Chain A
């Protein structure tokens, strides 16, 4: 088995949010006890509804927000409590790709300066050397040197996302955190970008933490999938298991909402009742019990433990699973 590049254990993060004048400050529990690991060269996808804490998890790992509880092991180093000054090495190893390719590229910088920025920050290369690397990496992502002297807003969404990918690649990072990298793109472009990410992974031996609200998007690219609900991972396992033998009622509901081209294979659509509860007051017991179609009495009072499934690497938190 290959080496583990990223290992996260017991990750927690709460935001204190403004409350009414005479109330106590409230805590929004965005991420609650998340653990997973990614072997080098593999893709782990975090999937779940909007607001379940996927981006917060990504931001914690990339140390963009103040750390909460838990450990983050990157390449054998614990990084969750390090100060920014000690994170230089980590900043080179981890790069991000963002959801909105319009907002994530500085509109006042030329493409070559955007893509070269990690080099400008971390190396002493001359401008000419940086630009040389930029034109090489632009070729790799399917653009050409001819694009380097333009501004980002002159490009289409798909091309911009390629620019974002080029910027993430130029430091030759180990881990790329891609937060909804295709959800802002046209469906026809999504497949191109996903294929590009897949090819680049093979070529540069990249490890991906891939974040998406859409299970169908991650099917092609993932090795492992973690399904998140209200700040916790309710089920995780190899992609095949999640898609063909899901155990958690929430995973089943998510899967049932993916349209299937073949009408004979039509799954019964499970429609979840009720709204997503607020992460300020998550339900006691199983966090999913307010919407779970098969909830039992025990679910309201007792939090289900994480249990291994039949396949290696498969874990479920549900009282139904023996």
Chain B
């Protein structure tokens, strides 16, 4: 087998086509049909988050008491809410809030969890036990309960939602990175780096972290879906965005009272949340197939 590997690699050299990890990734990505669509949807969503406020047909905050609780129609394509505010415009604004909150909280949680997981897996011993026991304690709470507890302590508001969601993301990132670290630290190239006198810092960040990156990226995209759900739930419960904010969760919460009569008030933000979470999960699955094939069957 080694011989055939050697033959293959020497032929790639002969072809004179330069290998690039990015090109390889893009090539494999195009094969993932669902993930391709989902990622286009996310791209659209990101665009909306950026330019949404400029293309929104109405002011999302401005009540219009002549147009309360209208169903979807020509004037208001997604209808209006109890104050006559244009739901479509509010959804566009809400995309920015949802994406910012979820990206930020997952990103912060990923950084915190990655550092803890690296330290835990690399050094082992009492540090490992401390970090892992603390995350076990956090795992004992259902995700959302933990976030609620944190917001209850910090007080409501979007900033605190970000903090809460990032804190509840930390343990799962720490576990993930720890297990890849345990594997990576046994590799011969890590032993080689040690024999050269590389510092712990260098070994962790130059040699071990890149090994964890594949599964980390997959997990990040999955967690964004979870974070959107968590943030929306907090807002729905009145612990996140204040009610007048065009946050998807807050919009859901307001629409509760009209479920029987004006279903669209709840449906519209509900669909937005559903599609977004779904898209991130599909992208996560696709990324897993491309970047991290060995965890596929877990």
A→B interface (CB under 8 Å): 62, 64, 87-88, 91-92, 94-96, 98, 100, 102-109, 117-118, 121-122, 150-151, 153-158, 167, 184, 186
Q: How far is the CB of B102 from chain A (nearest CB, A)?
A: 29
- Could you list 12 examples of A-B contacts with CB < 8 Å? A62-B195, A91-B196, A94-B195, A95-B195, A95-B196, A105-B192, A108-B210, A121-B198, A121-B202, A153-B9, A157-B6, A184-B2
Q: How far is the CB of B291 from chain A (nearest CB, A)?
A: 13
Q: Taking A155-B9, A155-B13 as contacts, is the C-beta distance between A91 and B197 under 8 angstroms?
A: yes
Q: Taking A121-B202, A156-B9, A186-B3 as contacts, is the C-beta distance between A105 and B195 under 8 angstroms?
A: no
| A167 neighbours in B (Cβ, 8 Å) | 192, 196
| B195 neighbours in A (Cβ, 8 Å) | 62, 64, 91, 94-96
Q: How far is the CB of A132 from chain B (nearest CB, A)?
A: 19
The winner among B3, B10, B197 for most chain A CB atoms within 10 A is B197
B13 touches A154 (CB 8 A): yes
The total of interchain contacts (Cβ-Cβ below 8 angstroms) comes to 76
Q: List 5 additional A-B contacts (Cβ < 8 Å) besides A88-B197, A117-B198, A156-B7.
A: A91-B195, A95-B196, A98-B188, A98-B192, A156-B9
| B7 neighbours in A (Cβ, 8 Å) | 156
Closest partner residue, chain A, to B197 (CB atom) = A91
A153, B12: Cα distance in complex, Å: 10
B→A interface (CB under 8 Å): 2-3, 5-7, 9-10, 12-13, 18-19, 21, 187-189, 191-199, 202, 206-207, 210-211
Q: How far is the CB of B123 from chain A (nearest CB, A)?
A: 13
Closest partner residue, chain A, to B198 (CB atom) = A121
- CB contact between B6 and one of A88, A94, A150, A156 (< 8 Å): that residue: A156
Q: How far is the CB of A218 from chain B (nearest CB, A)?
A: 21
Q: How far is the CB of B215 from chain A (nearest CB, A)?
A: 14
B192 touches A92 (CB 8 A): no
A118, B6: Cα distance in complex, Å: 27
B2 touches A117 (CB 8 A): no
Q: How far is the CB of B7 from chain A (nearest CB, A)?
A: 8
Closest partner residue, chain B, to A101 (CB atom) = B188
A151 touches B2 (CB 8 A): no
Q: How far is the CB of B39 from chain A (nearest CB, A)?
A: 24
| B196 neighbours in A (Cβ, 8 Å) | 91, 95, 117-118, 121, 167
Q: Taking A62-B195, A121-B202, A157-B2 as contacts, is the C-beta distance between A100 and B9 under 8 angstroms?
A: no
| B2 neighbours in A (Cβ, 8 Å) | 102, 157, 184
Q: Taking A95-B196, A117-B198 as contacts, is the C-beta distance between A151 and B189 under 8 angstroms?
A: no
B197 touches A87 (CB 8 A): yes
| A92 neighbours in B (Cβ, 8 Å) | 197
Q: How far is the CB of B235 from chain A (nearest CB, A)?
A: 40
| A153 neighbours in B (Cβ, 8 Å) | 9
The winner among B7, B196, B202 for most chain A CB atoms within 10 A is B196
Q: How far is the CB of A285 from chain B (nearest CB, A)?
A: 36
- CB contact between A103 and one of B13, B189, B194, B197 (< 8 Å): that residue: B189
Q: How far is the CB of A91 from chain B (nearest CB, A)?
A: 3
| A105 neighbours in B (Cβ, 8 Å) | 189, 192
The winner among A64, A104, A105 for most chain B CB atoms within 10 A is A104
Closest partner residue, chain A, to B187 (CB atom) = A103
A62, B196: Cα distance in complex, Å: 9
A196, B288: Cα distance in complex, Å: 43
| A95 neighbours in B (Cβ, 8 Å) | 195-196
A98, B195: Cα distance in complex, Å: 11
A153, B3: Cα distance in complex, Å: 13
| A157 neighbours in B (Cβ, 8 Å) | 2, 5-6
A108, B189: Cα distance in complex, Å: 11
B197 touches A100 (CB 8 A): no
| B194 neighbours in A (Cβ, 8 Å) | 64
| B191 neighbours in A (Cβ, 8 Å) | 64, 98, 104
| B207 neighbours in A (Cβ, 8 Å) | 106
Q: How far is the CB of B12 from chain A (nearest CB, A)?
A: 6
A104, B211: Cα distance in complex, Å: 14
Q: Taking A150-B19, A154-B12, A154-B13 as contacts, is the C-beta distance between A104 and B197 under 8 angstroms?
A: no
| A121 neighbours in B (Cβ, 8 Å) | 196-199, 202
Closest partner residue, chain B, to A170 (CB atom) = B196
